[in-house]
Amino acid sequence: MSAETFPLSTQTCEHRTAAALREAERAGQRGGFVRLREEAALSQARAVDRQRAEGVHARRLQGAPLAHKDMFFRAGELSECGSRILAGHRASHTATVLRRLDAAGAIDLGALHMAEFAMSPTGFNAHLGHGRNAWSDAHVSGGSSSGSGIAVALGLVAGALASDTGGSVRIPAAVNGVTGMKPTQHAISMQGVMPLSPSLDCVGVLARTAQDAASMLQAIWDADATDPHCLATGTRDFERSIERPLTRDDIIAVPAFDDGAPVSDEVRAAVLRVADALASCGATIRKVEMPDLREAGALATLVLGAEAASIHAKWLRECRGGYGEQVLRRLERGLLYPATRYVDALRLRARSMAQFVERHLGGAHALLLPALPYAVPTIEETLEGDAGEIERRFGDFSYWTRGINYLGLPGMSVPAGKSGNGMPVGVQLIGRAWSEDVLLRLAHQLQRRTGWHLPSILSHPRAV
């Protein structure tokens, strides 16, 4: 982790971890936590101190305090996935990504708030209560990785794992003012992670900076024989690649926003502000046709609905009453999708991705898009109207992210200042498949030039 986020200290790792646990306990769910691993985390910290005393070479994440969305399984420990259905569930095995972070020397402080079974883009949870934005109790935290965005933004952890099926890394990163990376589809092992829609699910990372995101991604990136769908081969040196300055050969595509684009004036201004900053870093900005993500988003919704209904079919039969109303309605709708429509959606996927890349990336290295269509809403605003209106609003909220999962492309959310309501604004960098190094480098160089990722939440009234 960078010294900015995780400063070096003469204190023992055990002392620092104990202090971090106290802060997390004091914050409670307002800090994004649903459960702490006090003894286990202190045990990890003592092991780090022993290794340091024995002269063992420091590992990249050694002693870094992390916490993760409550859907990453660890053998013998609770993992409830924000649900009543899995209340009291203890995993029989440990997720590959957790084992890799352990091996890198990170300290796992505990489990973070999430939407029930990862099925809300706003952070709503009928059982745990709403996620509360790091900057305002009245505003949404983003979802479904609500706690990951909150805890990172409040500085309670240096980073967090999350999942992204339709925007669940990028949305909470954007609305809480932190950095979030969703990698290429199937790049990171999903072994030991609760699935929602295996064709769309991705493990991603949230951190304060692109540099820290690079460190975390590097630690979890590799092939995994226990996950046959994981396509990564070998490790990647993201930490080194991000340091190369931008030049005119680095081409960023920026859409020519038209009147029909689902984006507010202030979010559009944020995208153009980031484009100007990247140009000042040395990159070339190229205008491209405005992407229409409605079809990709609709196909993503179909795939997610069918696959989630299949995964939950047994529970829907045996313990239907354990679901929250919103999640139950979405799951049961998935049971009604014809198999032919689901197969067609998967069949069209590769062609859709190729057409999108050719049309909107062309010779560019990344496409700059909004992360959200409008400023961060209040919780009350997202609950107005009947059930149909609320669901339509959910769809609008994830318009810019959901289709990217269907296309299987990597996406990265980065802070881009504040909106008129004082809440963070985030934008996305979208790349070709396997271009995580490009996106991380663009984000890192942007953050070296600007201060949008730096405002201290600790001086804000919301700080815990």
Spatial strand order in the sheet of 284-288: 33-36, 107-112, 65-69, 159-164, 202-207, 179-182, 411-418, 424-430, 366-370, 251-255, 284-288
* Distance of alpha carbon 283 from alpha carbon 443, whole angstroms: 12
pLDDT digits (tens, 9 = 90+) for 444-459: 999 999 999 986 554 4
Say which range, 134-138, 323-327, 388-392, has the weakest mean pLDDT: 388-392
d(CA 369, CA 427): 6
Looking at residues 62-90, what average pLDDT do you find?
98
What is the rounded average pLDDT for all residues in the chain?
95
**DSSP string for 47-82:** HHHHHHHTTPPPPTTTT-EEEEETTB--BTSB--TT
Q: Which of 83, 120, 136, 168 is catalytic?
A: 168
Position 464 pLDDT exceeds 50: no
- Which DSSP category does 291 fall into? P
Which pLDDT value is given to residue 389? 87
The pLDDT value recorded for residue 459 is: 46
Arithmetic mean of pLDDT, 393-406: 94
- For residue 289, the 8-state DSSP code is P
Q: Could you tell me if 156 and 32 are in contact, meaning their C-beta atoms sit under 8 angstroms apart?
A: yes
Is residue 303 within 8 Å of 104, Cβ to Cβ?
A: no
Cβ neighbors of 52 (< 8 A, separation 6 or more) are 13, 58
- By the 10 Å C-beta count (0-12 exposed, 13-18 middle, 19+ buried), 290 is classed as middle
> pLDDT band for position 6 (50/70/90)?
low
The encoded tokens of residue 447 equal: 């953050």
DSSP of 96-162, one letter per residue?
HHHHHHHHTT-EEEEEE---GGG--SS---TTT---EETTEEEEE--SSSHHHHHHHHTTSSSEEEE
Decide if 69 is catalytic: yes
Q: What are phi and psi of 270, to 5 degrees?
A: -65, -40
Helix (H/G/I), strand (E/B), else coil: 374: coil
12 pLDDT more than 70: yes
CA atoms within 13 A on the CB side of 90: 3
Task: Quick: pLDDT tens for 338-390.
Answer: 999 999 999 999 999 999 999 999 899 999 999 999 999 999 999 998 888 88
Closest CA to 440 of 67, 66, 247, 182: 182
Cβ pair 382, 393 in contact under 8 A: yes
- What pLDDT is stored for residue 391 in this prediction? 85
Give the C-alpha distances (Å, rounded to integers) separating 57 from 54, 106, 107, 446.
9, 14, 17, 32
Say yes or no to pLDDT of 424 above 60: yes
pLDDT, one tens digit per residue, over 147-199 is 999 999 999 999 999 999 999 999 999 999 999 999 999 999 999 999 999 99
Mean pLDDT of 312-338: 97
Write down the CATH number for the domain with range 13-459.
3.90.1300.10
Q: Is residue 287 pLDDT above 60, yes or no?
A: yes
pLDDT at 138 over 60: yes
φ, ψ for residue 437 (rounded to 5)?
Answer: -65, -35
Catalytic residue among 83, 136, 141, 144: 144
What is the mean predicted confidence (pLDDT) over 18-38?
96
Per the residue annotation, which of 69, 163, 189, 199 is the catalytic one?
69
**How many other C-beta atoms lie within 10 A of the C-beta of residue 233?**
9
Whole-number pLDDT of residue 260: 81
Sign of CA dihedral 310, 315, 320, 325: negative
Q: How far apart are CA 141 and CA 121, in angstroms?
A: 9
Percent of the chain with pLDDT over 90: 89
Q: For residue 450, what are its two tokens?
A: 């600007």
**144 included as an active-site residue:** yes
Contact (CB, 8 A) for 157 and 1: no
Q: What is the pLDDT of residue 273?
A: 97
Give me the residue spans of the domains in the chain: 13-459
- pLDDT tens figures, 212-236: 999 999 999 999 999 999 999 998 9
Region at 117 (left for phi over 0; alpha for psi -120 to 50; beta for the rest): left
Whole-number Å distance between alpha carbons of 121 and 396: 10
Q: Please confirm, yes or no, whether 168 is among the known catalytic residues.
A: yes
What phi and psi, each to the nearest 5 degrees, are found at residue 91?
-75, 150
Whether residue 7 is predicted with pLDDT greater than 70 in this model: the reply is no
Closest-CA residue to 240 (of 218, 221, 268, 223): 218
